[in-house]
Amino acid sequence: MDATKSQKTDRAGLVVDVKILALVGMAAIPGVAQAQEGGLGPTGVHVGAFLFEPSVTLSEVYDDNIFATDGGQEDDFITSIEPALEISSLWSRHALNFKTGIASSFYAHNSSENHTNFFATLEGKLDITRLSNFSAKINYQKLIEARTDTNANPNAAEATEYQRYDAGLLFTQQFNRFTLKIGGAATYFDYDDTETRSGTPIDNDARDRTDVAGTLDLGYEFSPGYSAFVRQTVDWRKYERSVASGRDSAGYTTDFGVRLEVTRIIAAEVFGGYMVRNYDSFEDQSGFSFGANLIYDVAEGTRIQLNAGRDFQETTAIGASGYLVSTLFAKVEHEVLRDQVIRAQVSYTNNDYSGIDRKEDIYGGGFGYMWYFGQRISLGVNYDYQTRDSSVVDSDYARNKISLDVTLRY
């Protein structure tokens, strides 16, 4: 992660905390260059039945508004170093993968913003039969709350640090044309205390919480590569401190949708339904849910990615039970040459708060160019822009970032 990526706890895709299928049921798809030209990917090191893939990324970023403020913007240069390691099994049946990485960012003129993020993920799959399997995943992250986060305290002297723990389990069983998925997941958030610029303590213990969810997904393949599904999700959010217990809630979502997977050319999922969230002491929320995920290789070396979603999120805003977030993200990657990839992306997020008069529109965009020098070295140049239009006074901002990244792989 560069300084831009390391500060984003939620990329502009589906914003979900404990959706089981997102946690343990969806595998990553390689980027355009790696997908189209296998020789451009890292070779790694074979140790027994495992593949070790170490890497390190060095980044230099110019940010013209590091505190995401409406006025009195502060710019700075950020240097980041990000070592990472991925270990993957090479078994014919079952799977076991481990990923870990550190992202340290250093600000040239604002050392109070210096931070180090860390993550470690262990995931595996147990093939019971040809038609059934268990998938499991545990994950730990040490992160900072981005200055652009809607819940970030604008008066905090330093960005809030927090830890996130995830665990999920998914069982999949095929019955002829039917596919049944039953899953459960839990996430725990632990926020560190901080202080204002004037030295007043900020107690964040009231934000600590546990999210637990369960999902039942039944799909029917009505034609090869095409299936319809119905999915029922129930979840609970429980705060540790009694001062915040009024925000404890339970909810459910019922979705109907279709899935499409035609070889490696296109993979898509589109769904819609209804969701309800009931709070102990705050205004309940309900509304229509929807989501879409699409990866489409429209031509050799060209890929389109689309994501959209809607969900209820937690908030620190006084008087609000939460907010309804709707997101849209689109990205295009294209191989200009065999060893060069260009990308462009746009995003939109709408936050609509329940119980108070507050709305936010967040727009983003960017483009980048990546050069691959053989199997082990890549160089990237990126530009990203983000702006927020908020109904809250002095909460608007505009932010431009330019970055240069060098990645070394073994």
Render pLDDT for 251-274 as a digit per residue (tens, 0 to 9).
Answer: 999 999 999 987 778 999 999 999
CB atoms within 10 A of CB 2: 24
For the range 122-129, what are the long-range contacts, defined as Cβ-Cβ under 8 Å and sequence gap of 24 or more? 122/96, 122/97, 122/98, 123/24, 123/96, 123/97, 123/98, 124/94, 124/95, 124/96, 124/97, 125/94, 125/95, 125/96, 126/94, 127/93, 127/94
Contacting residues for 194 by C-beta, under 8 A, at least 6 apart: 153, 156, 157, 158, 160, 161, 201, 202, 204
Q: Give how many domains the chain has, as a whole number.
A: 1
pLDDT for the residue numbered 202:
93
pLDDT for the residue numbered 244:
60
- Using DSSP's 3-state secondary structure scheme, residue 201 falls into strand
Q: Could you give the count of Cα atoms lying within 13 Å of 406 in the half-sphere of its Cβ? A: 3
CA angle 372, 100, 211 (to 5 degrees): 125
Q: Taking a C-beta distance cutoff of 8 angstroms, is the pair 183, 214 a contact?
A: yes
Q: What is the residue type of 343?
A: R
| pLDDT range class, residue 241, cuts 50, 70, 90 | confident
Residues 269-281, mean pLDDT to the nearest whole number: 96
Contacting residues for 3 by C-beta, under 8 A, at least 6 apart: 59, 61, 63, 78, 80, 105, 403
Distance of alpha carbon 271 from alpha carbon 289, whole angstroms: 8
Residues 36-56, mean pLDDT to the nearest whole number: 79
Q: pLDDT tens, 297-325?
A: 998 899 999 999 999 999 988 889 999 99
Quick one: DSSP state of residue 376?
A: T
Q: What is the residue type of 189?
A: F
pLDDT for the residue numbered 238:
95
Q: pLDDT tens, 114-170?
A: 999 999 999 999 999 999 999 999 999 999 999 999 999 989 999 999 999 999 999
Contacting residues for 299 by C-beta, under 8 A, at least 6 apart: none
Q: Per-residue pLDDT for 108 more than 50?
A: yes
pLDDT for the residue numbered 35:
41
Q: Per-residue pLDDT for 18 more than 90?
A: no
Residue 9 phi/psi, 5-degree rounding, is -80, -20
- Candidates 276, 211, 199, 265; CA nearest to 237 is 211
- Candidates 347, 337, 285; CA nearest to 315 is 285
CATH number at residue 348: 2.40.160
Residue 30 phi/psi, 5-degree rounding, is -60, 160
- Candidates 297, 302, 298, 309; CA nearest to 270 is 309
DSSP characters for 126-166?
A: EEEETTEEEEEEEEEEEEE--TT-TTS-TTBSSPPEEEEEE
- Using DSSP's 3-state secondary structure scheme, residue 252 falls into strand
Q: pLDDT tens, 350-365?
A: 999 998 999 999 999 9
Domain encompassing residue 368: 3-409
pLDDT for the residue numbered 224:
92
Q: Which of 39-43, 204-208, 281-285, 295-299 has the lowest mean pLDDT?
A: 39-43
- Per the rule left: phi > 0, alpha: psi between -120 and 50, beta: everything else, 375 is alpha
pLDDT for the residue numbered 264:
79
Contacting residues for 10 by C-beta, under 8 A, at least 6 apart: none
Q: What is the residue type of 21?
A: L
